[in-house]
């Protein structure tokens, strides 16, 4: 049994098969908290086969209108911070700020209000969607920016026709990025549709090398709650009201190809190890928002799609799960509005797959957070 291989480290790890105690690599988690107003880090690992009992918490750094954080390629040396006003990268100490190129400084575009970002499975392109709001309701022009990971702009696009949809259970706006066989990057936008459900718009350049992409006509779909990439770089999984389903070539979820491991119930959030920038095993985590089910908490379920067991295992129950990241130390890190926790996927999935008692070796890394929004991994 091997841990996820990504870090250029030679330290041996705790083996679930032999029971030998070995050393976990040092890892740093960056947390966006205080409704996107602060970034902070917590450093783990480097100890004898388990997370340290007292993780090292770094000082908070003030940011403006933070939306999300992601790990950039390069061994975890830098993170991507999406802010409403623009994207930027920072080093593992949250310094050395490098703003990305302006996205919409061209005729026909408006200043950005970025709301969601996704990297492709190959981790060499970044897609971010901008849409301004009034009173928390998204009602502005939708615009897309495709970036290289060094912050240079590949193309921009206007995605017209977005409906203003209000209500108590409106599907969110989500984006994903795939690469066609001809090497063309295709942005995928899932957004709420008038009358219910979602619609998917695919966006790509029509001329190689163009700096402006074109949007296809919207395709009606059932409600899409979240999107996450598969490792192959061409498949995107959708969280729907009837399970986890891959998108077809037209952008519509393919119900007959649903992932049986998660059943046919509603899924609101979806994460993959490919989406966290971790190579190796194909891990998928799914969660239903209990505000919809009315149950108070709902389980975060985890499935090893490259394993032999076709059933997702429950990691823990959450009332308000905000984000999840898979890290190369073999842990899944789950962020609620107030707490950051770690779960050992190697031991947990290994014990569950052999029919024994599932042991995730849970650990609390941060507590007392205020309105946390996102988490990603770095290497100190």
217 to 37, 179, 248: CA distances (angstroms): 37, 19, 16
Helix (H) or strand (E) holding 59: none
Q: How crowded is residue 350: how many other Cβ atoms within 10 Å of its Cβ?
A: 19
Please determine, for residue 250, whether its predicted confidence score (pLDDT) is greater than 70.
yes
The reported pLDDT for the residue numbered 2 is 44
Per residue in 139-170, pLDDT (tens digit) is: 999 999 999 999 999 999 999 999 999 998 99
The reported pLDDT for the residue numbered 54 is 77
Task: Compute the distance between CA of residue 143 and CA of residue 156 in angstroms, rounded to an integer.
Answer: 7
Quick one: pLDDT band at residue 45, thresholds 50, 70, 90? confident
Q: Are 319 and 289 in contact (CB under 8 A)?
A: no
Please determine, for residue 16, whether its predicted confidence score (pLDDT) is greater than 70.
no
Please determine, for residue 188, whether its predicted confidence score (pLDDT) is greater than 50.
yes
Q: pTM for the complete prediction?
A: 0.93
Task: Compute the distance between CA of residue 280 and CA of residue 327 in angstroms, rounded to an integer.
Answer: 11
The reported pLDDT for the residue numbered 13 is 37
Per residue in 277-303, pLDDT (tens digit) is: 998 789 999 999 999 889 999 999 999
């Amino acid at each position: 049994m091997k841990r996820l291989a990504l870090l250029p480290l030679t330290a041996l790890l705790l083996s679930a098969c032999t029971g030998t105690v070995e050393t976990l690599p040092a890892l740093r988690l960056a947390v966006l908290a205080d409704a996107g107003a602060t970034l902070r880090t917590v450093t783990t690992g480097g100890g004898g086969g388990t997370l340290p009992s007292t993780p090292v918490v770094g000082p908070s750094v003030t940011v403006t209108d933070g939306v999300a954080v992601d790990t950039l390629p390069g061994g975890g040396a830098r993170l991507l911070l999406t802010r409403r006003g623009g994207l930027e990268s920072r080093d593992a100490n949250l310094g050395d700020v490098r703003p990305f190129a302006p996205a919409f400084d061209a005729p026909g575009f408006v200043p950005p209000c970025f709301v969601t970002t996704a990297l492709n499975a190959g981790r060499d392109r970044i897609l971010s969607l901008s849409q301004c709001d009034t009173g928390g309701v998204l009602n502005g022009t939708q615009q897309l920016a495709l970036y290289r990971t060094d912050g240079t702009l590949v193309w921009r696009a206007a995605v017209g026709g977005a409906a203003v949809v209000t209500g108590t259970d409106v599907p969110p706006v989500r984006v994903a990025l795939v690469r066609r066989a001809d090497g063309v990057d295709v942005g995928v936008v899932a957004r709420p549709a008038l009358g219910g459900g979602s619609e998917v718009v695919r966006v790509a350049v029509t001329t190689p090398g163009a700096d402006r992409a074109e949007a296809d006509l919207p395709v009606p779909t059932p409600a899409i709650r979240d999107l996450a990439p598969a490792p192959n770089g061409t498949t995107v999984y959708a969280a729907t009201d009837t399970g986890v389903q891959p998108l077809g070539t037209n952008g519509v979820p393919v119900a007959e190809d649903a992932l049986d491991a998660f059943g046919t119930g509603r899924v609101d959030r979806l994460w993959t190890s490919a989406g966290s920038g971790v190579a190796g095993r194909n891990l998928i985590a799914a969660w239903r928002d209990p505000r919809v089910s009315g149950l108070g908490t709902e389980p975060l379920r985890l499935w090893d799609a490259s394993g032999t067991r076709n059933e997702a295992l429950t990691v823990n129950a959450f009332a308000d799960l905000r984000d999840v990241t898979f890290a190369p130390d073999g842990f899944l890190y789950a962020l609620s509005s107030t707490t950051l926790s770690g779960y050992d996927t190697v031991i947990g999935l290994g014990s569950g797959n052999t029919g024994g008692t599932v042991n995730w070796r849970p650990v609390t890394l941060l507590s007392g957070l205020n309105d946390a929004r996102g988490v990603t991994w770095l290497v100190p």
